[in-house]
Amino acid sequence: MSFGNIIDRPKADALIPAEGAAQIVTAATQASAALALCKRATMSAKVYTQPVLSALPDAFWVAEGGIKQTSSAAWDGVDLVAEEIAVIVPVEDAVLADASFNLWQELREPLGERFGQKIDQAVFGGVDKPASWPEAIIPGATAAGNVYVSAATPAEGGVYGDLEATLELVEADGFDATGWAASRDLRGLIRKARSATGDLLGEGSTSTAWDLPIKYAVSGSIPAPSLAIAGDWSCAVLGIRQDLTMQVFTEGVITDAAGAVIRNLMMQDESALRVTMRVGFAVANPTNVTKPTGGYPFAVLQGAGVPGAAAAERRTRKD
């Protein structure tokens, strides 16, 4: 953990322009595959409950003169718990007049990308995930057996064959995929995809696969060896308790984890930019007629060469 970092030569009046908050939210949304793909929910409290169908109703044929039977359904609640992402960027006031560039313009996109990356890392791979959040998507798909290890040859469509096989895992569990979250490594594989006769597959487009949009996550957000996640993204719910907000402080202290004062803004002639956001996440896994005993709405494509993955075990979904 770090508490002593500081930017030495900023321009104070450029830190928070009137349109700054909207711009950084846009940057975070553009950088985050999860924010772009997942269903959004506005949270009015720290905990938001999403109802999910857990038991299906039934229907019955009625013989002539017979009576109609009854059925019921049941719902469980999936809880989204809002947790905070934040950063403080301290600035020395003594050099404000010497700044030769607009610091806010320089930091806007990196801050947005970093917030987006933190969300993607937690949602997809569970990296640095808040303890109150449920299992991330890749571990959840792995536990459900919905993993396909890249194996297709050019005669089988190359990476397009791998993506098709991944879609089949989602469909076998009763869900229709609505899009892909992908590592940037997938782009090169799509561009290189050729048929057995050397013909270019997919016309080189890297924005869709099997007519489903691909959203590429910031580098490192989808941990190797995973390449792509297919699924019904309406089942992945991101709750926004507090949109990204920014404040500039000219007074106050910054301490370390033990409470020791590291910076005193008033005494050291410094300002500090504080950026915060509160987000919740959960996967809703409704019962469906294809898999009434329980499926999972996502599947993962992994790269080849995964230790212990035998060719006969390419499809690892549990029956």
Q: Is residue 7 part of a domain?
A: no
pLDDT at 1 over 50: yes
Whether 161 is covered by a domain: the verdict is yes
Look at 65 and 186; give whichever has higher pLDDT: 186
pLDDT in tens, 57-111: 556 577 767 775 644 444 456 777 888 888 888 777 665 445 555 565 666 777 7
Assigned domain for 65 exists: no
pLDDT digits 0-9 by tens, 26-68: 666 677 899 899 888 877 777 766 654 444 455 657 776 777 5
| pLDDT score at 52 | 47
Q: Give pLDDT tens digits for 187-228.
A: 888 888 887 877 777 766 788 888 899 999 988 889 999 999
Mean pLDDT in residue range 272-295: 78
Q: Among residues of the chain, what percentage have pLDDT more than 70?
A: 70
- The answer to whether residue 270 is domain-embedded is yes
Crossing angle of helices 20-31 and 103-120, rounded to 10°? 40
Q: Which domain holds residue 156?
A: 12-54+74-313
> Is the omega angle on the peptide bond into residue 225 within 30 degrees of 0, that is, cis?
yes
Residue 32 lies in a domain: yes
Of 46-55, 138-147, 158-167, 171-180, the one with minimum mean pLDDT is 46-55
Q: How far apart are CA 299 and CA 170, in angstroms?
A: 6
The span from the CA of 160 to the CA of 180, in Å, is: 13
- Do the bridges between strand 270-283 and strand 236-249 make them parallel or antiparallel, or are there none, so unpaired? antiparallel
Say if 259 falls within a structural domain: yes
- Please report whether residue 198 resides in a domain: yes
What's the pLDDT at 245? Answer: 74
Strands 74-81 and 83-92 come out as: unpaired
CB hemisphere CA count around 120 (13 angstroms): 30
pTM (2 d.p.): 0.77
CB count within 10 Å of CB 273 equals 23
Higher pLDDT, 172 or 80: 172
Helix ranges restricted to H, 17-156 = 20-31, 33-37, 103-120, 137-143
Type of residue at 155: A
For residues 119 and 35, the answer to whether their CB atoms sit within 8 Å is yes
pLDDT at 319: 44
Establish if 36 belongs to a structural domain.
yes
Whether the predicted pLDDT of 165 surpasses 90: yes
Rounded Cα distance, 65 and 292, in Å? 31
CB 171 within 8 A of CB 165: no
CATH number at residue 224: 3.30.2400.10
Number of structural domains (the chain) is 1
What's the rounded Cα separation, in Å, for the pair 187 and 221? Answer: 15
Q: What is the pLDDT of residues 100-149, one digit of tens each?
A: 555 656 667 777 788 888 999 999 999 999 999 989 999 999 999 999 99
